[in-house]
Amino acid sequence: MHNLLKILTALIFSLSLYGETISVMTFNVENLFDNRNDAYKTDETYLEFSKKQTPAHIRNCEKISTKRWRDDCLYIDWTDEVIEHKLNSIATVILSYGNNGPDIIGLQEVENNRILKQLFKKLEGAGYKHYVLLEGSDNRGIDTAFISKYKIIESKLHKIEFSGATKQQIGDTREIHESVFSINNKKITVFNVHFPAPYNPVFMRKAAFSTLEKLASVTKGPVLALGDFNVTQTEDDKEQTFKNANKTWYVSHRDQCSDCNGTSYWFTGKSWSFLDVIMVRKNRNTNFVADGVSIVNHPLQTREDATPIRYDAKNVIGVSDHFPVVGIIELN
């Protein structure tokens, strides 16, 4: 019932005559890869099993220290049928919001334009007209992307400077993706981020936040930032990361969504975190509408205990280990 009320709120505000409103989603779709082996990227995990039988592939997999990732590299059978199922599942979750999906979708962990186009085609009938992915420098080849009902005017990547990080640590990071959208003759800038993973040092995420802050401060007009910020609840409690961000941004889970558990669940530590966040720059005549933030908990992706079901290629179930977040934004 609560989610229904939020959807109705979205529909009501979308008809507002006194201010332009848009709905935006951030969704880490967890390893949305095709099954081609791209040169210079470590994407060998996402191949058909029949192509994984070479001694070279097995040797490379056995170098992976984390058992689950090593087993995935050796045994996942990433067939065309598995990819099709994952794409359909992602599309189903996206379109479940308001029946036609949000206006702008920011995606994380998308391999390339080839697989992004396949997802776009499954959403096109709901009014989506534009998509963009810029190839970044992440070693695995995972990138950030947008799919939008509004025109994307321009896009660029911004490198994050990590003073003191190792080459290996830097290779496990993504640039900040900036896209500018035209919304009924209004321009809005959206930064799509996928910050360094929690196993990387805290200073790397601080550097990423610092870069984002600098970019937002020199950008004119309405500014949003969304994505996988990779700040665990434990880290946030200690570093006060989002409390500090709240000085210059409205933050989805701090300013709203008080009854939300989180977007990602760590089963080992039995704890929720808001890894996935939407932020609205303050003092830009822009804000979340009242009760305008929600987490999409679709049955395809949600266990009985309310935790997310990561994608399981063997049993062909689940969607992603991150729930999507939606925010309704008013542009005055």
Identify the pLDDT of residue 256: 95
Amino acid 17: pLDDT: 38
Q: Which amino acid is at 122?
A: K
pLDDT of residue 165: 85
- How confident is the model at residue 69, as a pLDDT? 92
pLDDT at 167: 85
Q: Supply the DSSP symbol for 112.
A: -
CA distances from 189 to 27, 178, 227 (A): 18, 7, 14
The pLDDT assigned to 4 comes to: 55
Q: Which pLDDT tens digit goes with each residue over 3-46?
A: 555 555 545 444 443 478 999 999 999 999 999 988 778 899 99
1 vs 101, 171, 252, CA distance in Å?
19, 44, 21
pLDDT averaged per 10 residues, the chain (length 332)? 52 52 98 90 92 94 93 96 98 95 98 98 98 94 97 98 88 94 95 97 96 97 98 98 98 94 94 98 96 97 97 97 98 88
- So what's the pLDDT on residue 3? 56
* Residue ranges of domains in the chain: 2-9+23-29+83-331, 36-78
Residue 116's nearest CA partner among 27, 22, 224 is: 27
Considering the domain 2-9+23-29+83-331 in this protein, what is its CATH number?
3.60.10.10
Q: Alpha-carbon distance 62 to 66, whole Å?
A: 10
